[in-house]
Structure 1
């Protein structure tokens, strides 16, 4: 036993409990990531995760309702940590909006590459993991919303629809873009011949200029 572990065990009952909870959470995190890299999370059961983490099924259910919920919590925490590092406010200037958007997309790529085995496994085959699709789509939509909500051209299509129907149209815009973007990610992870830079560039051309305050990114020459 390490000196650190000795010190923890010698602490107060509350400190010892906190230490055990932290170790349990870490073990469950490692176990669910390891198993989700081998099979779609929908095919993994709680007993397998508990066994890999060295805990009981009862302990597993003290921390999660299901393997899918546990994986979504683990990956969601990583996504939230990365997105918290993004600028707090979307700039008004179109070119600056575009730069923030680029940075955000590459931040997402960092997350995907960190957990590449999990996503490749989850997106393999004809039916991608609904857990992973929903996780990415909802997080992506949450981040996208300020880009369309903050545009201020009253003649733009989003502004006219928003004036007619209210803010609910924003959710339609962002969810359409989010699920479409995740669809491209699924294809990227399925096809080894697709480079992530292709996903980035196609994504920028698919989104209309109003996402960036009317700014149209310059077209990149074909290689």
Structure 2
């Protein structure tokens, strides 16, 4: 199968739409390939031709969401005041709140480990790129760039998961995360 073939792209689009529709209604662990095939109006073999399992399909279907989260995190100016979250971070948490049901399905206790891992991976890549491009704050030279980026990426995914499972409002979540994030990005006076 050629993934560039328009027919394959249409089929993948139908499968992605079907899995997101089903995920809006039920826990990911309860979505079967048979139900997915019925919803997408394809046969089970077609599902397996494109994806090895439902988790891989969910991860692919949420790829644009993962990219949006990574872009928003990468846009946050590290020198913004501690008491006010940057606009991109506020927008990110508003997006998460508006789509809380889907994030809860993806990151909750019965969610997709593959999705959470993909989100951490994309965030780590974006933050590593940013840090190696000169936007890394001073005072962290004793910590490898990749470790620093992975630490912050894991923190963001963890806070998003907490917010959607606990129902934290974005106007509380964004500033709280920002204060924690800045602490993880800035050196203390003792370190200088």
TM over 0.5: yes
Residue deviations 1:139-190 (CA, integer Å, cap 9, x gap)? 222222244432363xx1x21x15xxxxxx2222122221122111112111
Match of 1:71 in 2: 58
Please say if 1:136 is aligned against 2:123: no
RMSD, aligned CA: 3.4
Select the structure of larger CA radius of gyration: 1
Question: Within 5 A, what are the aligned runs for 1:142-221?
Answer: 142-149=125-132, 150=134, 151=136, 153=138, 156=139, 158-159=140-141, 161-162=142-143, 169-192=144-167, 194-208=168-182, 211=185
Give TM-score scaled by structure 2 length: 0.73
Match of 1:94 in 2: 79
- C-alpha change, 1:70 and 1:111, in structure 2 (3 Å) is farther
Which structure carries more relative contact order (alpha carbon 8 Å, separation 6+)?
2
Residue deviations 1:58-83 (CA, integer Å, cap 9, x gap)? 11122212111111111113433x36
Partners of 1:139 and 1:133 lie apart in 2 by: 10
Alignment coverage as a number of residue pairs: 180
Partners of 1:83 and 1:116 lie apart in 2 by: 14
Match of 1:116 in 2: 100
1:40–1:129 CA contact under 8 A, matched in 2: no
Partners of 1:208 and 1:147 lie apart in 2 by: 15
- C-alpha change, 1:197 and 1:22, in structure 2 (3 Å) is same
Give TM-score scaled by structure 1 length: 0.64
2:17–2:61 CA contact under 8 A, matched in 1: no
Which moved further from structure 2: 169-178 or 137-146? 137-146
Question: Within 5 A, what are the aligned runs for 1:24-35?
Answer: 24-35=11-22
Match of 2:24 among 30, 37, 61: 37
